[in-house]
Structure 1
Amino acid sequence: MRAARVRATSPDGTPYGFPGNPAPSSAIEVHDDIPKPQISQPGEFLIRVKASTVFKDNLEWNELYPPNHALLGNDFSGVVVAVHEDEQEFRIGDHVYGMTHAKRGGTWAEYAVVTSEETVKKPDNLSWEEAAALPGSAITADQALFVHAGLEATAEKGVKQVLITGASGGVAMYLVQFAVAAGHFVVAATSSKERNESFLRSIGAHEVVEYNEFNALADRFDLVIDSVGFQVLSDCWGVVKPDGTLISFDACSWGYIEEHKSKGISKGKEGVQALYFIAEPSRVSMARISEHVSKRNIKGLVLKTVSLNDVREAYESVHSRGIGQGKVVVLP
């Protein structure tokens, strides 16, 4: 089958690995002779991949390198073509979508093995491309809000003040929509209101602010979720309540929160619950996402589509310039 993978070593034979020697985009190769994967245990099934997406920092994931040897691609939509003999829920011909675990990847390919924990049935009102564009970003948003922050999915116990930074980005725009749908008051932070306020209002944000306005927001928010990192993350300490929660999932925030807490940069807010997390596949999260889709609260946003032959150039573009409002979708 045709699939994309990362060459294991540099031209001089040096093994690629993270963090010391991550593979460059030139190491992404498309081959026509990669063996079709096979299901081997209950809970696995084989899909014919219809669409996948590009993650901007995929070559900087630890899981891509030994001992995991993960192939590229995690988001997917597709058709079930084989199931384990013990499978009870999924059937050949089912239309499905989801996200594979980072330790396996493999959806930049014509076929991929996925698991029941990674997969749900695709709503009829999503195209293949829209379905593939949703899981990675929407799962991250769902787990940030309702798993790690412990936000109530309905605001029956009280409306929380929520700040989302980088709010027009690929994950953060779902953070805005999910928090608003749950009944909480959402302030969207952006580098430019002129450029992004109209969009952010259209997806439900109650207020839109720029980062230079943070001084007027001191100690206001029960929950702050940062998707930008660097100076913006540092400034978030000033706007979260002393007993609030601060969450980051941006890769540049790895270790940053604990380091800053230990140095006292949290400005004396010892009660702040601060954490960094990496999203994982979850049928529970996907079920909530599918419910939003069925109610037409959200849909996958597609920036453009590319063929498998063009994934290297697509990755280079996304990694260097970001993706804006939508995903680059790969069609095997």
Structure 2
Amino acid sequence: MPKTMKAALITHYKQMAPTIESVPIPLLKPNDVLIKVKAASINPVDLKIMAGGMRMLLKYQMPLIIGNDFAGEIVAVGTQITQFKLGDAVYGRPRKQRIGTFSEYFATDVADIALKPVNLSYEEAAAIPLVGLTSYQALHDLMDLQPGKKVLIQAGAGGIGTLAIQLAKELGAEVTTTTSQKNIDFVKSLGADRVIDYHHEDFADILTNYDAVFDTLGGKQLERAFRIVKPGGQVVSITGLPNERFAKEFSLPRWKQWLFRLATQRLHRLEKQTQVHYRFLYMWPSHQELMVLTRLIESNRLRPVVDRVFPFAELAQALQYSQKGHAQGKIVVRIGE
């Protein structure tokens, strides 16, 4: 086992691009496993963290290794590990305090990983954990989607949307999504029942009586979502502002709870006016829910969508490509053989 590894670091917020440097391989805690990372995917939260946009929620020490999900092979285990062994192929999303998957080796709590689906390559598996867990938690845990319920999933051709459409159909929902003209047939192939070309149609003018909206866009699109949801329905957002309810659940200091309450007054008014419940979701790692995703993948009821795979040396270019927002599915970085 080498003593050092290559890892993608930032030394300050708003750094133009991470630098790949040699750093010590992390030490293991008793409940940790050490992963030789084969692939990791790019997620919008990586760009937000680099830009400093998550500082109100998360405080990171610099220098910081970035990266929020991975697939790889276990090469060492902590003293209390019995459920995994050396050589196991696994994937996962580490907890928020322990990110850093753009690295050749990565240590993580055993509760945050699961065995990799046997029918996926490492690159395909790396495209699943963060977006898969986010979508499952939004649609299943928060919305409790049931057969026949109507849900709008924004940006169906993106990394989140491609998984969310499939999961919503698996739960029996009637799915509408938004995308551009060129992706209409693609999102229908994933299971979308109705597709809105956002260049030519406004979803808020033509949809009504929906049970839920899964918002991945934020801003005005989030506010307009309240117009189409029936009283008692839900709007769940991963890009809107965290509200006071979320701030309390996240155990933020009271002064931050007050700031979020102030910042989301308009959303709170929309909740009252429409009688629609608003939830901000910051997904949580879960071995059990990863196992649910694995079963769906291995039974061919869920599939990852990978737009492009970049070599580790081209991570900066991969992040730039992600920033353009035109990817169909996930962008993956191949880190090790």
- TM-score (normalizing by structure 2): 0.84
Q: How far apart are residue 297 of structure 1 and its match?
A: 1.8
> Partner of 1:183 in structure 2?
172
Deviation digits for residues 164-206 of structure 1 (CA, Å, limit 9, x no counterpart) = 111221102211111111111111223x3x3222111111111
> Partner of 2:32 in structure 1?
44
Q: Is the 8 A contact 2:165 2:191 kept in 1?
A: yes
d(CA) in 2 for partners of 1:81, 1:328? 22
d(CA) in 2 for partners of 1:170, 1:88? 34
Match of 2:96 among 94, 98, 102: 102
Match of 1:309 among 313, 318, 323: 313
> Partner of 1:172 in structure 2?
161
Q: How far apart are residue 65 of structure 1 and its match?
A: 4.8
Q: How many residues align structurally?
A: 305
Q: How far apart are residue 151 of structure 1 and its match?
A: 2.7
d(CA) in 1 for partners of 2:24, 2:88? 23
Q: How far apart are residue 131 of structure 1 and its match?
A: 0.5
Instruction: Check if 1:260 corresponds to 2:266.
Output: yes
List aligned pairs for 1:166-315, cutoff 5 A: 166-190=155-179, 192=180, 194-211=181-198, 212-218=202-208, 220-250=209-239, 252-255=240-243, 258-262=264-268, 264-266=269-271, 268-269=273-274, 271-315=275-319
| Structure-2 change in CA distance of 1:74 and 1:228 (3 Å) | same
Letter in 2 for 1:55: N
List aligned pairs for 1:45-60, cutoff 5 A: 45-58=33-46, 59=50, 60=53
| Structure-2 change in CA distance of 1:199 and 1:132 (3 Å) | same
- 1:142 aligned counterpart, secondary structure: helix
Q: How far apart are residue 96 of structure 1 and its match?
A: 0.5
d(CA) in 2 for partners of 1:267, 1:35? 52
- 2:265 aligned counterpart, secondary structure: helix
> Partner of 2:54 in structure 1?
61
Q: How far apart are residue 306 of structure 1 and its match?
A: 2.0
Letter in 1 for 2:153: I
Q: How far apart are residue 57 of structure 1 and its match?
A: 4.1
What are the ranges of 5 or more consecutive residues in structure 1 without an aligned counterpart?
A: 8-15, 17-21
d(CA) in 1 for partners of 2:79, 2:130? 29
Letter in 2 for 1:31: E
Q: Is the 8 A contact 1:3 1:308 kept in 2?
A: no
> Partner of 1:78 in structure 2?
72
d(CA) in 2 for partners of 1:297, 1:203? 10
- 2:309 aligned counterpart, secondary structure: strand
| Structure-2 change in CA distance of 1:316 and 1:65 (3 Å) | farther
CA RMSD of aligned residues (A): 2.2
Q: Is the 8 A contact 1:68 1:103 kept in 2?
A: no
- TM-score (normalizing by structure 1): 0.85
d(CA) in 2 for partners of 1:133, 1:88? 27
Q: Is the 8 A contact 2:39 2:332 kept in 1?
A: no
| Structure-2 change in CA distance of 1:67 and 1:6 (3 Å) | closer
> Partner of 2:135 in structure 1?
141
Q: Is the 8 A contact 2:37 2:73 kept in 1?
A: yes
Deviation digits for residues 4-62 of structure 1 (CA, Å, limit 9, x no counterpart) = 1111xxxxxxxx4xxxxx32223x11112x00112122x21111111111223411333
- 2:66 aligned counterpart, secondary structure: coil
Deviation digits for residues 269-290 of structure 1 (CA, Å, limit 9, x no counterpart) = 1x31111111121112211110
> Partner of 1:112 in structure 2?
106
d(CA) in 2 for partners of 1:40, 1:223? 41
d(CA) in 1 for partners of 2:58, 2:315? 16
Q: How far apart are residue 238 of structure 1 and its match?
A: 0.7
- How many percent identity over aligned positions? 28
